[in-house]
Structure 1
Amino acid sequence: MGRLCFLSAHQMLEGFRSGQLSPVEVMKDTLLRVREVNSTYNCICFLENEQTLIDKAAAAEQRYLQGKSSGKLDGIPITIKDLLYVPDMPTLNGSMLPPHKEHPLITPCVLSIIQEGGIIIGKTTTSDFGWKAVTVCPRTGITRNPYDADRITGGSSGGSATAVALGIAPLSIGSDAGGSLRIPAGFCGVVTLKATIGVVPHAPVSVFGSLSTVGPFARDVRDLSLLLDVIAKTSVEDWLSVYPGRRDTLMPNPYSRICEEGGDLRGLRIAVSYDLNHYVRYIDEEVKRSIREAVSVLESLGATVTNVDDREEDWNLNRLDIYHTYKVLWSAAAAQVISMKKESYGMTEEEIKEKMDGGLYELAMLGRKYSAPDVMEAEHTRAELGVMMNKFHQKYDVLITPNMCIPPFAADREVPEDVETIATGPGKKGWNADTDLKRFFTWTAMSYVFNMTKQPAAAVPCGKFSWGKQVPISMQVVGAMFREDLVLRVCNAYQKVTTHHTRNADHMG
């Protein structure tokens, strides 16, 4: 059987129900795994008291013995990103700034996990308020790639992705306002889904507004769908949450039913784009190769595949000021972080500057320069992009792209060493080489576009780089709004006939 901690959530549940596997023994191996790897990879920033966790696992074991399992996740170890609120655990936002004074709401997805019997073992690392695409912050330091500790894990949900890849937990929760689920999933070789905004409730409200949502990590699509079944609920605490009547007509229930289907993709219209029709400036050649191979697999499963680069004249992201739009929205949100801390704590500007990640503070200063009309213009451009994608999906059910266009770079950097060569931004409205070459949005264009459009987008491993320690490569699967079912159908079909997702980052520290 191998290490218990590397079993899937489904394997654990089947073992618990049959009596062949003990939740207590799984928890003990989970805690051993944390001790083995966390000092090197730095993905857990808060671990619940070990005896408390053993006691919770023992209670789950008794429920199984009595035939009274408490829910879909009973006894499963799970981690939560340190931007989300868990009862009796600190939420420090990866920041040296003080946390909220008032006791906040429990994040809705966390409450759903607890109600279904999941055991939350601790909190995972993030960047300062989740502001950048690497998981490095003044409070916890550097979170490292599970396949190569000298390289980034991605961010800002890098702790969650790393914990899943390393076998600390089969499931985790992160968040995504510009790629923060998909970027680390890609670099860590795990799967994730950024659902349509409103499918998974997000509360308290994020400073990044409707760019942001929370979502699941797992090692395979079957486990991912199980966790999505649990967290995709309506919540009155999130004004964007899909209300019950509309939810029933828009979404399958449960999502995990999709994974019981075969791998037949006949009738599905799949578009493939390697650079979003020349919006993204640079794609690594090994990434292109892996995407070509993945698309060939999907075609062999019956899908009709069309390369849409240079083919769709109306699908032209370069005619919209997307780079500038995202930069305006993101930096304005960063400025709001400072305003919130000033209002809540009466902190001075200098006190905030001293404790905040320097890059976040610089971006907040940029955000202050934008006016209300600037922000409204950005929202208008965002709406135009959304309409463009709506029309695109009239012709194509799903879009396949590279997930990350480059390999993970040095762990202590925010941008690649060759950022001037690969950056998406030069020549676009709002470009400022002096400041932008230090920022994450120069190399994450394939991700943030689909936060702007609110669409579902998954990351699925589809290869590995040939050099060094062979870090993972992944593809992005994008659907029309509320078509998580089609995204999961493609991901599930692909994993049924490939083995990239079965690779483990099985290190001992």
Structure 2
Amino acid sequence: MSAAELAQAYERRDVSPVEATREALAAIEERDAELNAFVLVDADSALRAAAESEARWSAGTQLGWADGVPTTVKDLERTRGWPTLRGSWLADESGPWTEDSPSVARLREAGAVLVGKTTTPEFGWKGTTDSPRFGVTRNPWDPALTPGGSSGGSSAAVAAGMGTWSVGTDGGGSVRLPAAFTGTVGFKPTGDLVSTYPPGSNGPLSHRGPITLSVLDAAVLLDVIGRPDPRDWAAAPARDRSFVVGIDAGVSGLRVGYSPDLGYGRNDPEVASLVAAAVGVLAELGARVTEVEPIFDDPVEAFQTLWWSGAARSLGSYGPERLERVDPGLVECAERGRAVSAVEYLDAMAVCADLGLRMGRFHESYDVLVTPTVPTVAFEAGRSGPGTEPPHLWASWTPYTYPFNMTRQPALSVPCGVTRSGLPVGLQLVGARHRDGLVLRAGRAYERHTGWSPVTEASRTRDTKRGQSR
């Protein structure tokens, strides 16, 4: 069940938070040895929290839709009482671990049941999920393949039913990319909407956001984690309106600009076909769809300047002798980052400002920009990319996600079907800054019309493969 469905079932007493939590723990027991999505599972703590939630639902004092929902958190977010190891041998497991990050604090306040922490590449540095400390994470659709990254453990957990939803981080596509590869929903909200503490090494690129089974769940989870925290000096003020309000208003009359490749990407033919068909659905629903000319040139060099500088900052306090156990690709990024001058960094920030200006003008004419989320489908687990590019150039194969970290716009990935080989494809919807609700509304309209979910599609794909094998 999605989180919204669970809340309705809790209210009817059809299912209890303890039962839902036991189901998630059973799925972890059954599947995680193969998928390696978790670095920590705390069944005792989860069941205690579930029992407390069940008592609230029984008394009619529940804290909202998130109360009692089995939840996972990417292991870059601080969690009180649990270590945050970031996929690295550089982290000291002994702690102390005395505080929650803002998103985790908001989840506890909402009564969510924290089941465990999910895998990440070391310091979240790349678009796949494997690390020196915890090994390779795999895709529930096909364990030979990657779930993407860097929030790959979170996306695998949600897709496999090992927790209803998760909070991931996104510095260049790290929520949306794994969502596309695992048939889940991934939302990177406007940059200042979900508070960050401590500040991310990647500065303005860093975002936090939901990975869920539905767009409606993404809105519900964003209501929870999208509240300001005093530790984040740049946090947006508190909202007085839920993201769920108006989410079912549809897309009739919405101005949609469709760019198949942003003018510089190259798509797998099946990805291109499925995304084009999804855009056709938006048109059928009443959106005014126009295929648009390229809006900007590929900003990958500026992105890499910022990304590599962040890697240098992440590793800056460790001496050379400590780096022998660090992912070599991350070390390469950090070495390149140390060579970046202050002027080069500011030049890269100027590119972000120019991109923001161009997209601001674009949104005067269009409400939503639609692209593929990723130009390819999931590839072999343990590889850094689908081709022969060196690991430090991982952004070269996910060209549609990182520009909107640079502009700090809301960007949503929704599943839009599967290829003939049975692998999911993502559709990306991008809105103007602080128009998060509009982006969710457009994704929700597509979701409701198609009825797509990772559970039903995975089942259908397995049935098709069984039929072919017969």
TM over 0.5: yes
Q: Is the 8 A contact 1:331 1:363 kept in 2?
A: yes
Q: Please tell me whether residue 206 in structure 1 is matched to residue 200 in structure 2.
A: yes
Instruction: Find the partner of 1:132 among 126, 133, 155.
Output: 126
Q: Is the 8 A contact 2:187 2:413 kept in 1?
A: yes
Q: Is the 8 A contact 1:401 1:476 kept in 2?
A: yes
Q: Cα distance 1:27–1:105, how it changes in 2: closer, same or farther (>3 A)?
A: closer
Instruction: Find the partner of 1:255 among 243, 259, 284.
Output: 243
Q: Please tell me whether residue 477 in structure 1 is matched to residue 429 in structure 2.
A: yes
Deviation at 1:503, TM superposition (A): 3.4
What is the identity percentage for the equivalent residue pairs of Structure 1 and Structure 2? 38
| CA deviation vs aligned residue, 1:136-171 (integer Å, no higher than 9, x gap) | 100111111110111111000000011000001111
Q: Is the 8 A contact 1:105 1:204 kept in 2?
A: no
Instruction: Find the partner of 2:144 among 137, 140, 150.
Output: 150
Alignment of 1:178-257 (within 5 A): 178-244=172-238, 247-248=239-240, 253-257=241-245
Q: Distance in 1 between matches of 2:189 and 2:449?
A: 24
Q: Distance in 2 between matches of 1:296 and 1:224?
A: 24
| CA deviation vs aligned residue, 1:425-459 (integer Å, no higher than 9, x gap) | xxxxxxxxxxx575311101111111011100000
SS in 1 for 2:81: coil
Q: Distance in 2 between matches of 1:328 and 1:68?
A: 50
Q: Please tell me whether residue 268 in structure 1 is matched to residue 220 in structure 2.
A: no
Q: Please tell me whether residue 349 in structure 1 is matched to residue 330 in structure 2.
A: no
Q: Distance in 2 between matches of 1:461 and 1:316?
A: 26
Q: Is the 8 A contact 1:93 1:99 kept in 2?
A: no
Deviation at 1:256, TM superposition (A): 1.1
Q: Distance in 2 between matches of 1:102 and 1:389?
A: 43
| CA deviation vs aligned residue, 1:393-443 (integer Å, no higher than 9, x gap) | 111110000001011111110011x346xxxxxxxxxxxxxxx57531110
Q: Please tell me whether residue 405 in structure 1 is matched to residue 375 in structure 2.
A: yes
Alignment of 1:396-475 (within 5 A): 396-416=366-386, 418-419=387-388, 436=390, 439-467=393-421, 470-475=422-427
Q: Distance in 2 between matches of 1:334 and 1:497?
A: 42
Q: Cα distance 1:104–1:364, how it changes in 2: closer, same or farther (>3 A)?
A: farther
Deviation at 1:502, TM superposition (A): 4.9
> How large is the Cα RMSD of the aligned pairs?
1.7
Q: Cα distance 1:105–1:23, how it changes in 2: closer, same or farther (>3 A)?
A: closer
Deviation at 1:53, TM superposition (A): 2.2
Aligned to 1:495: 447
Deviation at 1:106, TM superposition (A): 1.6
Instruction: Find the partner of 1:40 among 34, 43, 57.
Output: 34
Q: Distance in 2 between matches of 1:99 and 1:400?
A: 43
Deviation at 1:104, TM superposition (A): 6.1
TM-score (norm: length of structure 1): 0.87
Q: Distance in 1 between matches of 2:15 and 2:234?
A: 40
Residues paired across the two proteins, number:
458
- AA partner of residue 286 (structure 1): E
Q: Please tell me whether residue 333 in structure 1 is matched to residue 310 in structure 2.
A: yes
Deviates more, 1:234-243 or 1:323-332: 234-243
Q: Is the 8 A contact 1:197 1:240 kept in 2?
A: no
Aligned to 1:423: none
Q: Cα distance 1:367–1:296, how it changes in 2: closer, same or farther (>3 A)?
A: same
Alignment of 1:273-312 (within 5 A): 273-276=259-262, 278-280=263-265, 282-309=266-293
Q: Is the 8 A contact 1:104 1:204 kept in 2?
A: no
Ranges in structure 2 where 5+ consecutive residues have no aligned partner: 463-470
- AA partner of residue 454 (structure 1): R
| CA deviation vs aligned residue, 1:48-91 (integer Å, no higher than 9, x gap) | 1x233222222222222222223432111100000001111110
Aligned to 1:68: 61
Deviates more, 1:403-412 or 1:53-62: 53-62
Ranges in structure 1 where 5+ consecutive residues have no aligned partner: 1-6, 343-347, 421-435
Q: Distance in 1 between matches of 2:306 and 2:285?
A: 40
Q: Distance in 1 between matches of 2:222 and 2:171?
A: 18
- AA partner of residue 332 (structure 1): S
Q: Distance in 2 between matches of 1:51 and 1:197?
A: 35
Q: Is the 8 A contact 1:266 1:301 kept in 2?
A: yes
TM-score (norm: length of structure 2): 0.94
